[in-house]
Amino acid sequence: MTATARSVGPLLEIKGLKTHFFTQDGTVKAVDGVTFEIGHGQTLGVVGESGCGKSITSLSVMRLIERPGKIVDGEIALNGDNLLEASDEEMRDIRGDQVSMIFQEPMTSLNPVFTCGEQISEAVQQHTSASSREGMDRAIEMLALVGIPDAKRRAHEYPHQLSGGMRQRVMIAMALSTDPDLLIADEPTTALDVTIQAQILEVMRDLRQKNRMAIMLITHDLGVVAEMADEVVVMYSGKVVERGDVRTIFGNPHHPYTKGLLSSIPRLDERVERLEVIKGTVPSPYNLPTGCLFKRRCPYRMPVCEVAPPYQKIGEEHHSRCWLTPAGEPPEVGADASGEEAERAGELLTVEPR
């Protein structure tokens, strides 16, 4: 792909991000060393179950983490600027202008006492020198763009007068009204019916092409990811466990968690007598296991898993946080681990998986 994109560097670059919550019951490492980037115009799917840290990662990018949460380490660069060093003032300009976000629940994200048009217009006026009339014109234009019929009339209606699908369109219209480079969509269709979801995904696909906008799509629905994403990041307990091109992740997953996820969903196009399961539950964030976070649920568990596995490159643009070799075999020695870790790994390693 694109020599141009590489020469200007990625749009969003997250390096070693750690967002922790300091609660009365202890520290929750909601995001613990997350690294990935999104290129211009690319769609990245972020997948994982509740509590894996996918939403906190996106809120960290928006700098919307509230106490007791805190970004304790790492770097988030958007267009080369480190967002973690931006002042609150600068951040307000960046939000909406360069990066916008839409949330899962469109009813709670819209203000019930302003009309849809006013809310979009406000965003436009914040970020441009537009007058309120120009803002409203832009709002109507955007509402039409996301496929709301009779946009002029709808612009003067309040959120409660619209259906769930319509509200999510209003959210998208608002997010896109300032032409951001990056749209963060956090479970944008989870609250919607499938036929409405299909409409919204179509709108997003359309606009992505027209505006050459990058999307960070956070979802637990693997079907939506398969359809929308170029690249996929799989998260588990605050860490990225696997990352790769969408076809690689779905066609040739490496991490046992990714494999488990893919085989445990009932499929419409295939019938199985019995579903595969990932046994057990996600570990409590207050009491994470040592070593590999997935080991208690992992069918490939080996002694070496007592040591945190390296995030190793296993193929072209394909990384996985697992001790298994790129071919999926138990490793001979502590593979790519370094120093002390490798030593311990070597000690613990036996070739037979348990």
Partner 1 sequence: MTEQTTVAPGDEATGMQTSGGQTSAQRTAARGGVAGAPLLEVDDLVKHFDIRGGLLGVSKLGAVRAVDGVSFTVKEGETLGLVGESGCGKTTLGKVILRLIPPTSGSVTFEGKSLFDLNARQLKAARRDIQVVFQDPYASLNPRMSVGEIVGEGLYVHGMTNKRERESAVRELLKRVGLNQQHIHRYPHEFSGGQRQRIGIARALALRPRFIVCDEPVSALDVSIQSQVLNLLSDLQDEFQLTYLFIAHNLAVVRHLSSRVGVMYLGKLVELADADQLYESPKHPYTKALLSAIPIPDPTVRRERIVLKGDLPSPANPPSGCRFHTRCPMAQEICKIEEPPLRDVGDGHMSACHFAEDVTPLHERRSSAQA
Residue ranges that bind partner 1, judged by CB under 8 A: 49-50, 149, 163, 165-166, 193-199, 201-202, 220-227, 246-247, 250-251, 260-262, 264-279, 281-282
DSSP-assigned letter for residue 226: H
Of the pair 15, 220, the CB lying nearest partner 1 is at 220
Residue nearer to partner 1 on the CB measure, 211 or 252? 252
- Please tell me the distance from the alpha carbon of residue 238 to that of residue 53, in angstroms, as a whole number: 5
HEC string of 146-197 equals: CCCCCHHHHCCCCHHHCCHHHHHHHHHHHHHCCCCCEEEEECCCCCCCHHHH
Q: In the numeric block, which tokens belong to residue 302?
A: 């080996």
Measured from the CB of residue 178, what is the shortest distance to partner 1 in angstroms?
27
Minimum CB separation of residue 65 from partner 1 in Å reads 23
Shortest Cβ distance from residue 74 to partner 1 (Å)?
A: 26
The least CB distance from residue 198 to partner 1, in Å, is: 4
Q: In the complex with partner 1, which residue's Cβ is closer, 112 or 149?
A: 149
**216, 238, 237: which is closest to 228 by C-alpha?**
216
108, with CB counted inside 10 A (0-12, 13-18, 19+), is exposed
User: Cα–Cα distance between 212 and 183 in angstroms, integer?
Assistant: 11
Q: Cβ 273 to partner 1, closest distance in Å?
A: 6
Of 50 and 129, which CB lies nearer to partner 1 in the complex structure?
50
Tokens 């973690």 belong to: 84
C-beta of 81 vs 150, nearer to partner 1: 150
